[in-house]
Amino acid sequence: MPHRYAELMFTPDVLAMQTHYGAAQDMARYRDDNGPFDRLSETEANFIARRDSFYQASVSETGWPYLQHRGGPAGFLKVLDATRLAYADFRGNRQYISAGNLVGNDRVALFLVDYQNRRRLKILGRMKLVDVAEADETLVAALRPYPYRAAMERIAMIAVEAYDWNCSQHITPRYTETQLRGAVEPLYERIARLEAELAELRARAI
């Protein structure tokens, strides 16, 4: 079954480069027998629900790509169903470059990385921004993270066109403060017990 992501991304120029670097045969099998990857499964939904940030690319009317970091509490990017994503668009630097780009071209690419486990998910879609005042109140409530003090200006709705998982090569493992705290907490507890035992031994020796 054709791979939808490859259908969209393997343009004639890309195919020419694959041929030039000897990857055409492998990519042909990937394109034709590894699909369709156009509907999010439970695997993707669970992965997305654990992310607290992702990167989002759009294209300007002059053809320049623009990459933006989007962040919030874990799970702020919501899977509404197999073909729809949404998130609360918070007030940022007020340049509105992504919002402006979407006026002329609604295509976006999302890049989600799990640095701890060295996994990454790429999503292609079409985005629509809806002002909070004009959005469905139930959806606004579902997307509004709590507690989170940033001002919610819009809802970003994404119609998923395709997705693909990347290999783990060249992903440097990184850990959040919460992940590190969980890893070292047993060590702190052991140190506290040892210090208490040492204090008791010193008290007995006096």
> CATH code at 160?
2.30.110.10
What percent of the chain has a predicted confidence (pLDDT) above 90?
A: 58
144 is written with which tokens? Answer: 């509004």
Q: Are residues 129 and 160 in the same domain?
A: yes
Q: Are residues 110 and 192 in the same domain?
A: no
Q: Are residues 26 and 57 in the same domain?
A: no
State residue 11's pLDDT score: 94
Q: Are residues 71 and 26 in the same domain?
A: no
Query: Radius of gyration of the chain from Cα atoms?
Result: 23
State residue 105's pLDDT score: 96
In angstroms, the CA 48 to CA 14 distance is 28
Only one residue has tokens 């004639």, namely 12
In the chain, the number of structural domains is 3
* pLDDT tens, residue by residue, 53-107: 999 999 999 999 999 999 888 999 999 999 999 999 888 788 999 999 999 999 9
Q: Are residues 144 and 202 in the same domain?
A: no
Q: Please give the residue range of the domain that contains residue 159.
A: 39-172
Indicate whether 146 pLDDT > 80.
Answer: no
Q: Are residues 48 and 31 in the same domain?
A: no
Phi, psi angle pair for 24, to nearest 5°: -60, -40
Count the Cβ atoms, other than its own, within 10 Å of residue 133. Answer: 8
State residue 168's pLDDT score: 79
Q: Are residues 81 and 156 in the same domain?
A: yes
Structure pTM? Answer: 0.84
Task: Return the percent helix, strand and coil in the chain, to nearest 5.
Answer: 40, 30, 30
State residue 198's pLDDT score: 83
* pLDDT tens, residue by residue, 166-206: 877 888 888 777 777 777 888 888 888 888 888 888 888 77
Q: Are residues 74 and 158 in the same domain?
A: yes
Q: Are residues 130 and 144 in the same domain?
A: yes
Q: Are residues 12 and 48 in the same domain?
A: no
State residue 68's pLDDT score: 94
State residue 6's pLDDT score: 92
